Amino acid sequence: MSFNKKITTGLASAVLALATLPAFAHDMKVVASFSILGDMVEQVVGEHADVTTIVGPDADAHVYQPSVADAKAVAEADVIFVNGLGFETWSDTLIAESGSDGAVFVATKGITPVLVEGEADPHAWNALTNGVIYVQNISAAMSEVMPDHAADFQANADAYIAQLTALDAKTKASLSQLDADARTVVTAHDAFGYLADAYGLNFLAPVGIDTEAEPSAKELAALIKQLREEKVAGLFVENITSPVLVQQIAEETGIKIGGRLFSDALSERGGPATSYLAMFQHNLDTLLAALTNKGSS
């Protein structure tokens, strides 16, 4: 059965069930496209809405295939938040096929995108100053939808922004201490351009901004040659991608793997990156440990 037919079948029962619910049983329902954005939304909405995330922890939104359950969640949503900048290539179809009449908001509104080979890099959350813009957009959107709770949304956003701003200052201070030859690192895919620009690092990757692409043998050989010739301070695997490419690069170049970074998704419960703040702190600690020669291979 095709994806579209599955959605149609699943929605028929979902719509019937919704029609029989009393009005007071329907709480404000918010859907966020992926886990990092979902956490931001939860911080702002507090107790005033139920938040569902489509692409969960440790999952790759670039190659995600929505399910019937996802379509049902979107169909029932009053508010839908997406990252935008081409990150969720599946979101427009999912929203359209679900028949949702929820209000759709793009969390990256107002952010100037980093361009990679002429294409917008969607990983804007990897600079905390952009994280502040995400939170402001979420607060404004929720205040528009639920004006009676606007003061609460703003208070939650202000408290959260204070934490993001403090971590941004800490990150800048910490990374500014790195030597000039300890600022080039390699990751599995090109997800850290905003972090590089914000904090004075240089990231190289065998795969571009979309994990669905794969490097050719020629491209990989060229990168390995470049890494042998340049001073590279760290090599990192990511939580959402296979470590095979990075392990191959480590074997070919002798560069030690300095740890695991969280790029496009939070960690599962019990992991080191169960929130946006925790994710960023973990990435900072991992980078510093490797780039100051304190980490292990």
d(CA 270, CA 124) in angstroms, rounded, equals: 25
Please determine, for residue 197, whether its predicted confidence score (pLDDT) is greater than 50.
yes
Q: What is the CATH number of the domain that holds 31?
A: 3.40.50.1980
Do the domain assignments include residue 297?
no
Mean pLDDT for the chain overall: 89
Residue 7 has pLDDT above 60, yes or no: no
Do 43 and 124 belong to one domain? yes
Whole-angstrom distance, CA of residue 200 vs CA of residue 233 = 14
* 112 & 86 share domain: yes
Neighbours of 136 (CB within 10 A): 18
- Boundary (domain end) residue, out of 123, 138, 170: 170
- Do 285 and 239 reside in the same domain of the chain? yes
- Are 46 and 144 members of one domain? yes
Strand order in the sheet with 184-186: 202-204, 184-186, 234-238, 257-261
Residue 296 lies in a domain: no
Domain boundary among 170, 196, 214: 170
pLDDT confidence of 216, banded at 50, 70, 90? Answer: confident
How much is the average pLDDT of 218-224?
Answer: 85
Reported as a pLDDT band with limits 50, 70 and 90, residue 293 is: low
Question: Residue 245's domain spans which residues?
Answer: 177-291
Domain assignment present for 108: yes
Q: Percent of the chain at pLDDT above 70?
A: 89
pLDDT for position 128: 98
Q: Are residues 220 and 84 in the same domain?
A: no
Q: Please tell me the total count of domains within the chain.
A: 2
Whether residue 239 is contained in a domain is answered as yes
Q: Is the pLDDT of residue 295 over 70?
A: no
pLDDT band at 257 (very low <50, low <70, confident <90, very high): very high
Percent of the chain whose pLDDT exceeds 90: 74
Residues 6+ positions from 209 with CB-CB distance below 8 Å: 116, 119, 121, 122, 123, 189, 190, 191, 193
**Mean pLDDT, rounded, for 275-291:** 97
**88 in the same domain as 31:** yes
**Res 32: pLDDT:** 98
184 and 249, same domain (yes or no): yes
- pLDDT for 15 beyond 50: no
Mean pLDDT over 233-238 rounds to 92
Residue 181 sits in the same domain as residue 105: no
Question: Which of 135, 152, 170 delimits the end of a domain?
Answer: 170
Q: Are residues 115 and 181 in the same domain?
A: no
Classify residue 151: in a domain, yes or no. Answer: yes
Dihedral sign of CA atoms 126, 129, 130, 134 in order: positive
The model's confidence at residue 231, banded by pLDDT at 50, 70 and 90, is confident
pLDDT, mean of residues 196-218: 83
Is the confidence at residue 296, as pLDDT, over 50? Answer: no
Read off the pTM. 0.87
Could you read off the pLDDT of 162-174 as tens digits, one per residue?
999 999 999 999 9
* Same domain, yes or no: 202 and 58: no
Quick one: pLDDT at residue 13? 41
Task: For residue 114, name the pLDDT band (cuts at 50, 70, 90).
Answer: very high
The verdict on 93 and 163 lying in the same domain is yes
Q: Tell me which residue of 227, 234, 228, 231 sits closest to 259, measured CA to CA.
A: 234
Residues 140 and 249 in one domain: no
pLDDT in tens, 31-62: 999 999 999 999 999 999 999 999 999 999 99
